[in-house]
């Protein structure tokens, strides 16, 4: 009954109720949009950094990441990769051999990192293939081809079509020696990659470095990072039987995780302030409507209605307002966020062009998910419910007669 | 045969001349002015063990040519060291490759020796001050323990090296200490016998002190010392196209 | 205007007739103003930190190299120390300081490990002015002069090498004549700072480095500093004219990622300002609308008594003005107190590596230019007043007769 009463009371002053609802709805929607935008930026940052080369996650031998010792291998990676690809969320599972050695031409020799890759899977994990600006990337069916970073190419004074010699140590200690034909040169924008990496066919690397059918890592990619993260438990249980570990993106790029935390904390602080200010604004209105109705409350008290009941009715009115406003805000905000998710928005200050230089998207795309949709409206709702206790307490202190006498 | 467990140690007054002379003789015994040898190297790890056979020529302490004979997979590979520089040759590549600094720190053929270790084998004589620590008797022979401390400014990382030399000039032990004077690696002579007309440490094993179950053993099966080595032998062209044997 | 002395105390008293609403509105304005100032300071500190961290590491405001060096940063691409027109240009404002370095890749060895480093020969005296690293010595000391043959390494590098200050390391590099040079160096100091710098850089005296590398008096790079808001384009142009055969670049080309981050931070400040001002405006309009509505009878009476509409507007405007003024001032004081509570800056602590990933330093020095703060406060006040004019004008549209009849 209280509920019904509260609802009816709300609409006695439609203008004010509507204005309040709109106010709550607007701010909620704004926050839903801003938070979605923020999460979109975070997702873009992660996807872009990880997508250059690392992959969204990697299956590695235990303790491989400590010293990247070539001898720490994953057994039967081909079978494992096949099984992992069946898991929903895993779009690509690319096995890699990673070995250090000398890259040599008749006139120069420099240290380099040779990575044996499976091109078909690799393109689903790493963007490197799309940064090849001379020649082509590796293809299925290649035997002795190689793509190298442009700084390495300059160092060795080689280009597409030249021969590259490889000298290193095999897994069993034997000499690893090979001749490769450069078919492509890439420019990733990351110095470490452009200066060090030589990618070659996986089978050839396994043969040259005496790996048998082993690999050092299986890099995982997928349609989106959240999708892959959702698949983490399934992946982890599958690889446990191999004695391997899953290195998630936080382990692959720990400083990226930290920078996202910084961003999130700073933005979160700002949004909290926004919520606070909005709750204050609404509180003003609610307080006034309570004060206005002092005489009415006095009458109800005189008629025998308990102060607690009067107060809760009033409180419920505020809650309804907030609920309707918040729900509206979620709807509006989500709709807008979805639109921007699709369309994208330009960076303020023209930063987009600069980012394009790094192969990063030049527009920001929002990312709508339960967190971005419900956090802010929920916080506003909670804030109003709490703030609404102030008028509630005020009502509790009313005395019937003085209240009826107020003008 | 086996003597009593008591070994008599006799402290000797520090006489650098003594110690350096002993070391010089030991090195002379080990590689002479020139040498040609055949060695079998065994690399042992907890999960696997591998054996390789090499043929080597050395001239003085600075120049050396090492060629792989077995297993077949590695046969024909060779490395040449002239003074400070090291080159590798691989028959499959048919090219001589100069080792960049980053490779020098890498393990040689997967062993516990780095390319740098092989390049620096003369360091003990050139870059250290020597001191005779003690002399002990065992099995009817006397063993001199020499302490080698790096000279000021010497390009060596060790805190000190202790070498034990037998009275017939055979090096029986080398212990490398880090700069905190903790042993970092030990080279033990496990078998001595006549070779090329001299008593020789036939089997030497290197034990890194910070890892278990890993060692590298070098067994010298044949050697000739102070033979004339033709000028063309220790050159880059010979590295690529071997003429002598 | 002669009515002002009368209206001010009237306005003041009117405000406090409804203390709760006035206080809540005050809080809205104050919190909004605090947020604008504090977040501006935060973002400005962030942008500044990014710029400074990049510039004060090694980059300087700009660098000069032999042509070809940036593509292949080895010992082969050297130049003579500056002389003639270049030397003169470097000595002219706005350049405040410059230093020379020898720079080449090398391998550093301890008893236990060998790692690649960037070997730098520097002149400690001028290096101190251009770079922050000499000031970040954690253990031991920095280099004394160009002849100092000791070496200073990053703390993290020492950990990875399993060595310490006071011990000896051996450096190996390809000398100018191509042979492999090796030399031992005594570690005299360990520096902290960005992890990347700690892992990469090894410093020794310039002359000691030159004799090690066998380059005589030649150098690899010149790094120069200019004051913060200098027009670098003009400086670069002048330097290029003075040294047409050399490669002159400013920090924006050498560290484009850091530059982008700086630009992005600036864009966010306008967004925060806009949102907060909008909320402040809504808050004050909301409060004043309620006030006007409440006092309908009073305004009706005043009008009937002959008070001209203009004065009523002025009266309400004054209330708004006082309210905004107090709120803005309170917000300013709060912001100042907030900044005061971080006297030595906001240390990002554990999140430092994330800050470095975004290019910033680990400590954010929060400060606000007094004049800028006052200007922002003034702007907020003016905009708030503009919005508050609407409820003020509404007050004049009240029909006196109908108004007085309201209960």
> Which residues of chain A lie closer than 8 angstroms to B100, CB-CB?
102, 109-111
- Give CA separation, A74 vs B47, C16, C58, in Å: 15, 75, 41
Find the mean pLDDT for residues A184-212: 91
Q: Which chains touch A (3 or more CB pairs under 8 A)?
A: B, C
Find the mean pLDDT for residues B23-38: 89
Minimum CA–CA partner of A257 in chain C:
C354
Tell me how close the Cα of A145 comes to any Cα of chain B, in angstroms. 15
Which one of C24, C67, C106 would you mutate to disrupt binding with A, by most A Cβ within 10 Å of its Cβ? C24
Q: Do A277 and C283 touch (CB under 8 A)?
A: yes
Find the mean pLDDT for residues A299-307: 83
Closest CB from C27, C35, C352 relative to A280:
C27
Position B212 scores a pLDDT of 84
Contacts of B119 (CB under 8 A, 6+ apart): B81, B84, B86, B104
Instruction: Count other Cβ atoms within 10 Å, centred on residue C304.
Output: 12
Tell me how close the Cα of C122 comes to any Cα of chain A, in angstroms. 24
Which one of A280, A290, A347, A348 would you mutate to disrupt binding with C, by most C Cβ within 10 Å of its Cβ? A280
Position C108 scores a pLDDT of 93
Spell out the alpha helix ranges (H) of chain B: 16-31, 101-104, 115-119, 123-126, 236-240
Spell out the alpha helix ranges (H) of C341-369: 352-357
Q: Do B116 and C109 touch (CB under 8 A)?
A: yes
Specify the higher pLDDT residue, C332 or B8. C332
Which of the residue ranges A42-46, A242-246, C103-107 would you say has the lowest mean pLDDT? A42-46
Position B4 scores a pLDDT of 39
Position A112 scores a pLDDT of 92
> Which residues of chain C lie closer than 8 angstroms to B104, CB-CB?
107, 114, 172, 180
Minimum CA–CA partner of A260 in chain C:
C354
Among B127, C394, C115, smallest CA distance to A111 is for C115
Q: Do B92 and A179 touch (CB under 8 A)?
A: yes
Residue in the block written with tokens 């020796």: B113
Which one of C110, C111, C172, C183 would you mutate to disrupt binding with B, by most B Cβ within 10 Å of its Cβ? C111
Position B8 scores a pLDDT of 42
Closest CB from B83, B104, B179 relative to C111:
B179
Spell out the alpha helix ranges (H) of B40-133: 101-104, 115-119, 123-126
Specify the higher pLDDT residue, B90 or C298. B90
Which of the residue ranges A10-14, A151-155, C158-162 would you say has the lowest mean pLDDT? A10-14
> Which residues of chain A lie closer than 8 angstroms to B71, CB-CB?
174
pLDDT of B57 over the 80 cut: yes
Beta carbons of A122 and A55 less than 8 angstroms apart: no
Closest CB from C32, C282, C354 relative to A257:
C354
Position A218 scores a pLDDT of 95
Question: What's the distance, CA A164 to chain centroid?
Answer: 39
User: Mind listing the domains of chain B with CATH numbers?
Assistant: 2-239 (2.50.20.10)
Among C105, A169, A292, smallest CA distance to B107 is for A169
Minimum CA–CA partner of B77 in chain A:
A175
Spell out the alpha helix ranges (H) of A201-253: 202-208, 225-230, 232-240, 249-252
Measured in degrees and rounded to the nearest 5, phi and psi for residue C82 equal -65, 140
B208 touches chain C (CB under 8 A): no
CA contacts within 13 A on the Cβ side of C266: 12
CA contacts within 13 A on the Cβ side of B45: 11
Find the mean pLDDT for residues A266-286: 85
Which one of C165, C182, C183 would you mutate to disrupt binding with B, by most B Cβ within 10 Å of its Cβ? C182
Contacts of A14 (CB under 8 A, 6+ apart): none
Position C263 scores a pLDDT of 67
B90 touches chain C (CB under 8 A): no
> Which residues of chain C lie closer than 8 angstroms to A269, CB-CB?
39
Among B205, B204, B158, B153, smallest CA distance to B183 is for B158
pLDDT of B136 over the 50 cut: yes
Q: What is the mean pLDDT of chain B?
A: 85
Spell out the alpha helix ranges (H) of C55-95: 84-91
A67 touches chain B (CB under 8 A): no
Tokens of C261: 């981050």
Question: What's the distance, CA B135 to chain centroid?
Answer: 23
pLDDT under 50: residue ranges of chain C: none
For C173-212, what is each residue's pLDDT tens digit?
Answer: 989 988 888 999 999 999 987 777 888 899 999 999 999 9
Specify the higher pLDDT residue, B68 or C400. B68
Percent residues over pLDDT 90 in chain A? 34
> Which residues of chain B lie closer than 8 angstroms to C168, CB-CB?
150, 157, 179
B192, burial (CB in 10 Å: exposed 0-12, middle 13-18, buried 19+): middle
B-to-C residue pairs, Cβ atoms closer than 8 angstroms: 60
Q: Which chains touch B (3 or more CB pairs under 8 A)?
A: A, C
Among A145, A142, A162, smallest CA distance to A153 is for A162
Percent residues over pLDDT 70 in chain B? 92
Sign of CA dihedral B89, B91, B93, B95: positive
Position B3 scores a pLDDT of 40
Among C177, A101, C175, C75, smallest CA distance to B103 is for A101
A140, burial (CB in 10 Å: exposed 0-12, middle 13-18, buried 19+): exposed
Beta carbons of A337 and A366 less than 8 angstroms apart: yes
Residue in the block written with tokens 């549209």: C397
Find the mean pLDDT for residues B137-154: 91
B152 touches chain C (CB under 8 A): no
Minimum CA–CA partner of B177 in chain C:
C111
Position B6 scores a pLDDT of 39
The Cα–Cα gap between A194 and A185 comes to 9
Specify the higher pLDDT residue, C264 or A217. A217
ipTM (interface pTM): 0.81
> Which residues of chain C lie closer than 8 angstroms to A350, CB-CB?
263
- Give the helix, strand, coil percentages of chain C, each rounded to 5: 55, 20, 25
End-to-end CA distance of chain A: 28
> Which residues of chain A lie closer than 8 angstroms to C387, CB-CB?
none
For A136-145, what is each residue's pLDDT tens digit?
Answer: 999 999 999 9
Q: Which residues pair with B90 in a beta bridge?
A: B95
Q: Do A169 and B100 touch (CB under 8 A)?
A: no
> Which residues of chain A lie closer than 8 angstroms to B52, CB-CB?
173
Query: Strand B8-11 to strand B34-44: parallel, antiparallel, or no bridges (unpaired)?
Result: unpaired
Which one of C40, C290, C294, C346 would you mutate to disrupt binding with A, by most A Cβ within 10 Å of its Cβ? C290
């Amino acid at each position: 009954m209280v509920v019904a009463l509260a609802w009816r009371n709300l609409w006695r002053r439609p203008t004010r109720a509507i204005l309040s609802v709109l106010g709550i709805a607007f701010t909620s929607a704004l926050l839903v949009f801003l938070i979605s935008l923020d999460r979109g930026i975070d997702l873009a940052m992660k996807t872009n950094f990880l997508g250059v080369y690392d992959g969204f996650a990697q299956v590695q031998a235990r303790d491989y990441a400590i010293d990247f010792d070539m001898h720490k291998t994953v057994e039967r990676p081909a079978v494992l990769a096949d099984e992992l690809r069946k898991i929903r969320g895993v779009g690509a599972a690319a096995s890699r051999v990673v070995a250090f050695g000398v890259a040599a031409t008749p006139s120069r020799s420099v240290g380099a990192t040779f990575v044996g890759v499976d091109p078909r899977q690799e393109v689903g994990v790493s963007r490197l293939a799309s940064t090849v600006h001379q020649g082509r990337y590796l293809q299925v069916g290649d035997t002795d081809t190689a793509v190298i970073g442009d700084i390495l190419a300059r160092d060795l004074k080689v280009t597409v079509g030249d021969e590259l010699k490889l000298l290193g140590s095999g897994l069993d200690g034997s000499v690893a020696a090979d001749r490769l034909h450069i078919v492509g040169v890439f420019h990733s924008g990351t110095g470490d990659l452009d200066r060090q990496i030589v990618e070659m066919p996986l089978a050839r690397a396994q043969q040259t470095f005496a790996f048998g059918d082993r690999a050092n890592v299986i890099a995982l990619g997928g349609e989106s990072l959240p999708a892959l993260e959702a698949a983490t438990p399934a992946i982890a249980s599958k690889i446990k039987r191999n004695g391997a570990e899953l290195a998630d993106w936080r382990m692959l790029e720990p400083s990226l995780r930290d920078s996202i935390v910084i961003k999130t904390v700073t933005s979160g602080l700002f949004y909290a302030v926004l919520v606070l200010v909005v709750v204050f604004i609404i509180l003003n209105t609610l307080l006034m409507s309570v004060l206005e109705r002092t005489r009415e409350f006095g009458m109800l008290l005189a008629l025998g209605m308990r102060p607690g009941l009067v107060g809760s009715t009033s409180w419920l009115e505020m809650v309804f307002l907030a609920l309707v406003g918040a729900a509206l805000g979620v709807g509006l905000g989500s709709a807008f966020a979805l639109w921007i998710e699709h369309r994208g928005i330009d960076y303020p200050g023209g930063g987009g062009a600069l980012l394009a230089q790094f192969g990063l998207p030049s527009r920001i795309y929002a990312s709508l998910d339960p967190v971005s949709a419900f956090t802010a409206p929920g916080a506003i709702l909670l804030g109003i419910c709490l703030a609404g206790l102030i008028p509630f307490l005020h009502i509790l202190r009313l005395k019937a007669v003085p209240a009826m006498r107020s003008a | 045969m086996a003597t009593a467990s008591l070994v008599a140690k006799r402290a000797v007054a520090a006489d650098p001349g003594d110690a350096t002379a002993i070391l010089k003789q030991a090195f002379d015994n080990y590689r002479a002015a020139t040498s040609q040898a055949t060695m079998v190297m065994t690399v042992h790890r907890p999960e696997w063990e591998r054996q390789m056979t090499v043929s080597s020529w050395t001239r003085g302490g600075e120049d050396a040519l090492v060629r792989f004979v077995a297993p077949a997979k590695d046969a024909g590979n060779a490395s040449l060291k002239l003074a400070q520089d090291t080159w590798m040759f691989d028959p499959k590549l048919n090219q001589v490759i100069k080792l960049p600094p980053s490779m020098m720190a890498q393990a040689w053929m997967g062993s516990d020796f780095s390319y740098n270790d092989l390049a620096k084998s003369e360091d003990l004589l050139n870059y250290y001050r020597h001191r005779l620590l003690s002399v002990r008797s065992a099995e009817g022979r006397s063993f001199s323990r020499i302490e080698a401390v790096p000279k000021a400014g010497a390009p060596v990382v060790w805190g000190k090296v202790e070498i034990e030399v037998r009275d017939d000039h055979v090096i029986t032990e080398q212990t490398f200490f880090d700069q905190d004077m903790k042993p970092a690696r030990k080279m033990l002579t496990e078998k001595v016998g006549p070779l090329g007309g001299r008593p020789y440490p036939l089997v030497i094993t290197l034990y890194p002190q910070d890892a278990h179950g890993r060692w590298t053993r070098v067994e010298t099966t044949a050697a000739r010392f102070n033979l004339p080595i033709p000028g063309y032998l220790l050159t880059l062209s010979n590295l690529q196209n071997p003429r002598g044997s | 205007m002669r009515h002002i002395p009368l209206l001010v105390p009237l306005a003041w008293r009117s405000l406090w007739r409804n203390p709760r609403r006035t206080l809540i509105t005050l809080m809205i304005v104050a919190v909004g103003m605090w947020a604008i100032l504090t977040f501006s300071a935060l973002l400005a500190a962030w942008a500044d930190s990014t710029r400074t961290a990049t510039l004060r590491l090694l980059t300087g405001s700009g660098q000069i190299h032999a042509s070809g060096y940036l593509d292949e940063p080895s010992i082969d691409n050297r130049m003579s120390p500056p002389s003639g027109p270049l030397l003169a240009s470097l000595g002219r404002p706005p350049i405040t300081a410059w230093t020379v370095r020898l720079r080449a890749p090398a391998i550093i060895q301890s008893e236990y490990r060998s790692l690649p480093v960037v070997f730098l020969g520097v002149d400690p005296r001028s290096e101190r002015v251009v770079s922050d690293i000499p000031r970040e010595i954690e253990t031991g000391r920095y280099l004394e002069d160009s002849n100092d043959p000791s070496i200073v390494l990053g703390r993290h590098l020492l950990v990875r090498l399993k060595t310490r200050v006071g011990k000896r390391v051996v450096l190996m590099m390809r000398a100018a004549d191509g042979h492999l040079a090796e030399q031992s160096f005594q570690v005299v100091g360990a520096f902290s700072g960005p992890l990347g710098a700690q892992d990469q850089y090894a410093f020794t005296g310039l002359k000691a480095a030159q004799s090690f590398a066998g380059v005589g008096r030649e150098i690899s790079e010149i790094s120069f500093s200019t004051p913060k808001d200098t027009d670098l384009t003009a400086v670069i142009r002048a330097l290029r004219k003075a040294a047409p055969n050399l490669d002159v670049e400013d920090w924006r080309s050498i560290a484009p990622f850091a530059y982008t981050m700086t630009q992005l931070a600036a864009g966010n400040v306008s967004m925060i300002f806009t949102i907060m001002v909008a909320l402040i405006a809504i808050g004050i309009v909301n409060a004043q609308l309620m006030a006007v509505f409440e006092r309908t009878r009073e305004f009706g009476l005043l009008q009937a008594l002959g008070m001209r509409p203009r004065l009523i507007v002025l009266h309400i405007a004054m209330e708004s003005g006082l309210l905004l003024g107090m709120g803005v001032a309170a917000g300013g004081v709060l912001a100042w107190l907030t900044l005061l509570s971080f006297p030595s800056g906001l240390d990002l602590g554990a999140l430092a590596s994330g800050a470095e990933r975004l290019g910033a330093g680990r400590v954010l020095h929060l400060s606000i230019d007094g004049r800028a703060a006052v200007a922002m406060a003034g702007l907020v006040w003016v905009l708030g007043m503009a919005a508050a004019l609407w409820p003020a004008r509404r007050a004049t549209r009240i029909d006196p007769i109908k108004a007085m009849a309201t209960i």
